[in-house]
Structure 1
């Protein structure tokens, strides 16, 4: 008997437990197949993708790597100057409660992986900002582009890590698009069998910018003997705290504004030992409720996943333009904002 489709697994996964094998027609296999087919966007695997580009090449004005101000002739100014502390794209140094983050996720050339993967990135960013304004509800909308930076594969690759890394040229392109829109760029990590913190550290040159954060997809974090697309992966509160601690160190070292750390969760089994999660200075921890289905099913998933939230944890909500509408309809912004606690981060795939 064939396994359940990805949509079926995502609908029922919130109750916990491990799903059956996923058939090749599912969106999870489309992800692996698109990578294996060679979209011309992903590198082969670990060690083949350089993250060593100079931070100054992609730095926004006033961000790390920017040059010192100069006088009219190009020489240094005569008097002492006060360095302006880096801020978030639309001002300030704290994300919450001032802002609500709303946007699209995906990978260019891979329509099955999200809205961000189709069409011109600038047009998608403009669309994301329009959607973000529909979620304002007393807060300032802050558009967010969630780009897949590490993508889980169904094949092991040269290093056996079952993942590929998105080239710096692609990340740079989307960083510029986000910056031009005065939005955030979130780098999504689907680690395969790679160590999550290693994948985060590989993105350091991007993370020293004040407008770049991290999104983790632990359903693609595989243990020994597990293959992406066959079963849900998992993480725990200790590992999430380890990543938050690393980001906190970057924030302190570079005097950065608060940095978002999102982790998507489709089932209770995907994140264990949540009580071990410890907020870190300068890092906004956001638990994003994943899961496909009708508005009623998504509300049920939400209530299971936000029950007994640890202190200091913010909430997010994910919607799927196509899968949620299959046999039902997409939830409206009004319905999403009616959830309690009210989501502070909303992402469309």
Structure 2
């Protein structure tokens, strides 16, 4: 049986004035006013995620994170959390949301309040230790009198704006919030509520004298997705003095706004609300990355989704290997910009000009190292990479490894891959077995070797707080990467793109596209290549973006 607060009950702290007659001079004295009780705060010592998604659970967990005791606890029904948060902010105390009896009872026992302020149709569980139960009036003026605060008419809050409204609450300037569209039944209950009579007012309980605590959690940033069920938890964070940041996707790298706000906040500790933020370890490195403020071309720190890359493919100085090498560096970046321009009207995503530079070129002879791959030096590639960065363009380094493995070659370019706008591409067509040479067969690579690159590159991104990187896997036959669907896609440091490289007639290219998709249903992002000389005909930008699903990476060779 749950105990319901029907009327306002007396509480222990009633202040009675008294006088004492002096024996010598007949003077009277008034004892000093008692000091108001203040909530005792605690500060989270390390980044953590409150991995629950319901209002009651989040309110409970945030109360535990920021409070060790409180003279009053507000217990609100879920539909009247805004009013409960307003009262809690004005008093400087935690707010809980009516939910599991055992959880509410346990938190009240831990906080050990003198009184519980009941807001809305909340129910107090049985078994709560001796505590005064005070029912909050639904009338704004009457509630203000009970809390001993002055506020005007309640401020309506639109659906979806609850968290922002609660985050703006200031104990020094109390405001009563309420839903712009009241929940069914609450408005009628307010209308039916009779104002207290003079006698009832005289007998009514007072809440214990309390005052908001000094903010203690200024170094803590509470991240919220902005969902309404997080409002009570945000109120608790606000009372403790934590800063609140709305991260709609749960990933602070996702948008330019969240990256710049994280950088400005420079949080020492982050407390995140809800499962969208992942675990504490994931949240920690994502926050560290966002705090750098470094953004990718097109904004934010996620390479995908939200962007479409239009790239020139080839090797600097060699027109035989693709259009990228048909002109000098300055003309190359200008040509990339011109190729990207028509796509801007064809997609809602950010269109990013890009260069896919063949860093290691498959060679007819073994070379000095015997691997049938001619590796460009970092110094040879750096001028074009730097110019692309200056022009706001993305760069992908393409590997054609011959008889060596992809990871060995990738490590040669670690210096360039530590730059924020440089990703990587693996081209299995040119991955040879020990007895093979190029152009006599089509190469292939197994998933285990690809995963070695995935792990190394993702670790590099995390260790250096870099934005997410594109990792392209080139393919035009299923056998080139057997089991590509099993490649490790769990590392959110990378955006893995399978790039369909088929050439020739459009029916043949569409068959290749469909076959690759059928073989790899879990791959999220795909690339498409347009060949100037080999396609018949080459697709226009409009036709390219009509390919389904629309490619995230389009290259021209």
Correspondence for 1:249: 459
Q: CA–CA distance in 2 between the matches of 1:177 and 1:321?
A: 25
Shift of 1:231: 1.0
Q: CA–CA distance in 1 between the matches of 2:447 and 2:341?
A: 33
Correspondence for 1:172: 382
Q: CA–CA distance in 1 between the matches of 2:300 and 2:520?
A: 27
Query: Counterparts of 1:263-274 in structure 2 under 5 Å?
Result: 263-274=473-484
Correspondence for 1:104: 312
Q: For each residue in 1:106-155, what CA deviation from the matched residue of structure 2 results, as whole angstroms up to 9, or x when unmatched?
A: 11222110000111222221121222132231111111111111111111
Q: CA–CA distance in 2 between the matches of 1:90 and 1:182?
A: 8
Shift of 1:308: 4.1
Q: Secondary structure at the match of 1:84?
A: coil
What is the TM-score of this pair, normalised by structure 2? 0.46
CA RMSD of aligned residues (A): 1.6
Correspondence for 2:494: 283
CA 153–85 in structure 1, closer or farther in 2 if over 3 Å, else same = same
Q: CA–CA distance in 2 between the matches of 1:312 and 1:270?
A: 16
Correspondence for 1:41: none
Say if 2:378 and 2:416, in contact at 8 Å, map to a contact too.
Answer: no
Say if 2:430 and 2:442, in contact at 8 Å, map to a contact too.
Answer: yes
1:214 matched to 2:445? The reply is: no
Q: CA–CA distance in 1 between the matches of 2:359 and 2:377?
A: 8
Correspondence for 2:516: 305
Query: Counterparts of 1:134-283 in structure 2 under 5 Å?
Result: 134-136=342-344, 137-279=347-489, 280-283=491-494
1:293 matched to 2:497? The reply is: no
Q: CA–CA distance in 2 between the matches of 1:293 and 1:169?
A: 36
Shift of 1:306: 1.5
Instruction: Give the alignment partner of residue 324 of structure 2, picking from 116, 124, 144.
Output: 116
Correspondence for 2:554: 346
Say if 2:499 and 2:528, in contact at 8 Å, map to a contact too.
Answer: yes
Q: CA–CA distance in 2 between the matches of 1:105 and 1:93?
A: 24
Structure 1: segments with no counterpart, 5+ residues: 1-81
Instruction: Report how many residues are paired.
Output: 265
1:128 matched to 2:336? The reply is: yes
Q: Secondary structure at the match of 1:235?
A: coil
Correspondence for 1:75: none
Instruction: Give the alignment partner of residue 329 of structure 1, picking from 522, 532, 537.
Output: 537
Q: CA–CA distance in 1 between the matches of 2:350 and 2:492?
A: 23
Correspondence for 2:526: 315
Say if 1:86 and 1:255, in contact at 8 Å, map to a contact too.
Answer: no
Say if 1:238 and 1:273, in contact at 8 Å, map to a contact too.
Answer: no
Q: For each residue in 1:79-98, what CA deviation from the matched residue of structure 2 results, as whole angstroms up to 9, or x when unmatched?
A: xxx96332213320112221
Q: For each residue in 1:166-206, what CA deviation from the matched residue of structure 2 results, as whole angstroms up to 9, or x when unmatched?
A: 12232111112211210111111000001110001111111
Say if 2:378 and 2:413, in contact at 8 Å, map to a contact too.
Answer: no
Q: Secondary structure at the match of 1:90?
A: coil
Shift of 1:158: 2.0
Say if 1:87 and 1:257, in contact at 8 Å, map to a contact too.
Answer: yes
Larger Rg: 2
Say if 2:357 and 2:398, in contact at 8 Å, map to a contact too.
Answer: yes
Q: CA–CA distance in 2 between the matches of 1:301 and 1:226?
A: 25
Q: CA–CA distance in 2 between the matches of 1:158 and 1:236?
A: 26
Shift of 1:335: 1.6
Say if 1:87 and 1:256, in contact at 8 Å, map to a contact too.
Answer: no
Q: Secondary structure at the match of 1:135?
A: helix
Q: Any runs of at least 4 consecutive aligned residues in structure 1 with deviations exceeding 6 A, and if so which? A: none
Q: Which has the higher contact order (CA 8 A, sep 6+)?
A: 1
Name the stretch that deviates more: 204-213 or 273-282: 273-282
What is the TM-score of this pair, normalised by structure 1? 0.73
